[in-house]
């Protein structure tokens, strides 16, 4: 495959035409090139083109969503030079190394946003011209999420944060990188917010430990999900010893990020540990930066939690009055 026209002035290819220094302007009328590859490129080749490079690798753990807005803007500025244009005014090439995953991903993202296509429709538009094009599973999940977020990066979106956390763990399974990012993002752990729906109090001394604004709600895994069961295997083997269905009730409250009273324990910089009530020192919960599973089976990353059995759930009076 050299260069394939996907739609109008939008083209896809591998890196081969670039390495062979093909005159894309005279051959195809291409004036803009988006290179989705890491490393140094021969910049002299691009002197006759409007050129942009996004340096990412084709790995499921790559956070590709963060580049969708700038890639959309680049492609849009090439194809439609002003808002009144109805036809493509010039041509743009999107390429990666093989012309399979990364380049297809960015073109699909553009088609979905520009023409209000579903991910299946946009994928079909690419594959009908390039049958071998296939974003990797991680990129497909991120394309679906980008659609769900209305083609904007919503840092408060739970699914987006789950992708970021999951990708961080795949890159660094120890959880250290994730811990550092979260602690840096949150700064010193936050004070308790007073505008609450409910409070979680230590069962022994009634100390307030958390509120509704700190807790990350999560859905119980579907019955056919792998997370709906706890599977025990033999030591150093994949032989299954037992399979136990996960509970339909959650036994933990998981935090979005640390709160102030946790600081002393977290300052130890351990990868996991236990939390004691700051007032009476009762054991109330724990944490694991690598993540752990709730009793419902849901994998939570990171797992900063209070045990339901150790706290009382108290609705605020204003909530009760309403």
Tell me the CB-side half-sphere exposure of residue 307, using CA atoms within 13 A. 12
Cα gap 319→322, rounded to integer Å: 5
Q: How far apart are CA 192 and CA 204, in angstroms?
A: 20
* Whole-number Å distance between alpha carbons of 104 and 223: 34
> What residues contact 319, with CB distance under 8 A and at least 6 apart?
197, 198
Residues involved in catalysis: 96
Please report, for residues 143, 209, 221, 228, the alpha-carbon distance to residue 165 in angstroms, rounded to integers and kept in the order given: 17, 24, 18, 21
Cα separations in angstroms, 117 against 88, 139, 151: 18, 17, 12
Q: Where are the beta strands (DSSP E) in the chain?
A: 3-7, 10-13, 30-35, 50-53, 91-95, 198-202, 208-211, 229-233, 240-245, 252-254, 272-276, 283-288, 292-293, 299-300, 303-307, 311-315
Q: Taking the CB of residue 21, how many other CB atoms lie within 10 A of it?
A: 10
50-53 and 30-35 beta bridge pairing: parallel
The CA–CA distances, whole Å, from 79 to 26, 54, 88, 94, 147 equal 17, 19, 5, 12, 22
CB-based burial label for 230 (10 Å; 0-12, 13-18, 19+): middle
Cα 312 to Cα 176, 203, 300, 315: the distances in Å are 32, 6, 22, 10
């Amino acid at each position: 495959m050299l260069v394939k026209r996907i739609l109008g002035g939008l083209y896809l290819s591998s890196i081969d035409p670039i390495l062979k220094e093909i005159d894309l302007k005279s051959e195809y009328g291409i004036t803009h090139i988006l290179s989705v590859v890491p490393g140094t490129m021969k910049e002299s080749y691009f002197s006759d083109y409007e050129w942009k490079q996004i340096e990412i690798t084709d790995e499921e753990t790559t956070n590709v969503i963060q580049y969708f807005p700038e890639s959309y803007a680049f492609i849009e500025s090439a194809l439609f030079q002003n808002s009144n244009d109805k036809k493509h005014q010039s041509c743009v090439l999107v390429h990666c190394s093989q012309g399979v995953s990364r380049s297809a991903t960015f073109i699909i993202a553009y088609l979905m946003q520009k023409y209000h296509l579903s991910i299946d429709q946009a994928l079909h538009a690419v594959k009908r011209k390039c049958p071998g094009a296939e974003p990797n599973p991680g990129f497909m999940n991120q394309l679906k999420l980008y659609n769900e977020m209305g083609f904007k990066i919503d840092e408060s979106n739970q699914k987006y944060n789950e992708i970021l956390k999951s990708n961080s763990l795949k890159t660094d399974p120890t959880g250290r990188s994730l811990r550092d990012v979260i602690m840096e993002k949150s700064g010193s752990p936050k004070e308790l917010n007073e505008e609450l729906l409910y409070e979680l109090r230590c069962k022994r001394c009634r100390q307030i430990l958390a509120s509704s604004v700190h807790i990350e709600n999560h859905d119980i895994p579907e019955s056919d999900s792998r997370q709906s069961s706890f599977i025990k295997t033999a030591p150093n083997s994949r032989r299954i010893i037992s399979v136990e269905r996960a509970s339909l009730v959650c036994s933990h409250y998981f935090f979005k990020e640390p709160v102030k009273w946790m600081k002393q324990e977290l300052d130890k910089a351990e990868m996991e540990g236990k939390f004691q009530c700051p007032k009476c020192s009762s054991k109330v919960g724990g944490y694991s930066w690598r993540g752990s599973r709730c009793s419902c089976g849901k994998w939570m990353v990171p797992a900063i939690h209070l045990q339901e059995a150790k706290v009382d759930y108290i609705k605020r009076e204003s909530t009760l009055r309403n």
